[in-house]
Amino acid sequence: MFVIRQVATEDVTTLLKLARMVHFINLPPDRDIIAAKVVRSRRSFGREAADPRERNFMFVLEDLETGNVIGTSAIIACVSWPGHPHVYLDVTRREFWSDDLQQGATQVMLTLGEDVSGPTEMGGLILAPGYRGHAEKLGGFLSMVRFHYMGLHKRQFNKRVIAEMMGAITPDSHNLFWDYLGRRFINLSYKEADLFCQHSKEFMTALFPREPFYASLLPAEARNLIGRESDETRPARRMLERQGFEYKGHIDPFDGGPYLEVARDRIPLVSATGKCSLTGELNGTGRSVGIVSHESDVGFRAVRTTFTQRGDGVRIPAAAMDAIHAVRGSKLGVTPFPDRPATKTGSTSGTGSKSGSKSKSGSKSKSGSKSKAGSKSKAGTKAKSGSKSKSGTGAKAGTGSKKGSR
């Protein structure tokens, strides 16, 4: 059985080990940074962080049979504010046409952008390698519990939610997009620049050019990383897309990975979340499957389980009650998953059922599409990035088109 709970001080060492398994800007392999995040998280869960800029909610996934922490995820309530911008590259396309040559081209443009509106960010999802591909879909549980918590405490979070999809990183912690673009203006390695961002992003806005940059000037191996997430991140992206997240032409200036975003109140799991009273133990078959949580003196705890809900009351299996430290009369958070077949009780974090249909993300986008003769040059027009997750595509900047061709 597995439970997700709020992070505790004693989890720092385990989180450090997890951070060393995968590269994430939100959870760098630095003990001091992780310890500071844990302190902020405890204050956030304890309602001690009145300033949204100080709220950082960290969750950990615990295997109750072994007592080991095997994964983590987080919600950063406010990722930017004046003087501390969220920095990105805006991807647009500009069309050119020559009447004499009867030939056109579409150029991909990259422009540094800043956002100080304070969106909430989903981040820091890591699952230990030995548990990936688990029948109980633990990665999905770690991701969805954040929407469950957000649904219970909407006022803690911004109305706009973003998520950074990690770009492709080499085994020696290099990224070709940064090597061929960012490092030309900022004399830091990818790893050094990424880590320094934990303290300040001023160097990006101070040293990176403000003028649009033609992506066709980059080598193909770097250009192909524009808006493309790593293979390891692709399942997480598909999961987010099922919750309404879209790519809107913003990429990370360090690794080229896409930023996804959605309106908080349009996230299905957030909207489906509510509170119920525990009316007793569930015997037999539960009518629904989803996330059920309890917030008590020991903090937030959640399981993935079957349950039966009637009005404002809910019944869950005894094992789930024990896992979240709930008793009859406890106020529980409940998020039902859509279209779930009923399963036998006793299964608490993983019924093996699939939530949502698969979205076809990562399909090839033809950025070098043909322009028609005589059409006006649409300088700086936005790429249609909001279309079904075409952020993983390698846009072919500077491809030519001929008059009349299809």
**What value does the mean pLDDT of the chain take?**
84
Q: Note whether 260 and 315 are same-domain residues.
A: no
Q: What is the mean pLDDT of residues 233-250?
A: 94
| Alpha carbon distance 73, 79 (integer Å) | 16
Q: Note whether 215 and 160 are same-domain residues.
A: yes
Q: Note whether 254 and 280 are same-domain residues.
A: no
Q: Note whether 285 and 184 are same-domain residues.
A: no
Within-domain flag for 351: no
Number of domains within the chain: 2
pLDDT, position 362: 39
pLDDT at 347 over 60: no
Predicted TM-score of the model (pTM): 0.81
Provide the pLDDT confidence category of residue 186 given band limits of 50, 70 and 90. very high
Q: Note whether 281 and 167 are same-domain residues.
A: no
pLDDT, position 364: 40
Of 391 and 251, more confident = 251
Within-domain flag for 255: yes
pLDDT, position 19: 86
pLDDT at 86 over 80: yes
Within-domain flag for 373: no
350-401 pLDDT per residue, tens: 433 333 333 333 334 333 434 343 333 343 444 333 333 333 333 344 444 4
Q: Note whether 211 and 231 are same-domain residues.
A: yes
Domain with 329, as residue range(s), is 274-336
List Cβ neighbours of 259 (8 Å cut-off, separation of 6 or more). 88, 162, 163, 164, 165, 247, 248, 250, 251, 252
Q: 249, 268, 287 — which closes off a domain?
A: 268
44-58 pLDDT per residue, tens: 999 999 999 999 999
Provide the pLDDT confidence category of residue 339 given band limits of 50, 70 and 90. low
**DSSP letters for 203-250:** HHHHHS--S-EEGGGS-HHHHTTTT---GGGHHHHHHHHTTT-EEEEE
Helix H, strand E, coil C: the string for 60-95 is: EEEECCCCEEEEEEEEECCCCECCECEEEEEEEEEE
Give the CATH number, domain containing residue 305.
2.40.40.20
Q: Note whether 202 and 70 are same-domain residues.
A: yes
Give the CATH number, domain containing residue 158.
3.40.630.30
Q: Note whether 315 and 192 are same-domain residues.
A: no
Within-domain flag for 369: no
Q: Note whether 132 and 151 are same-domain residues.
A: yes
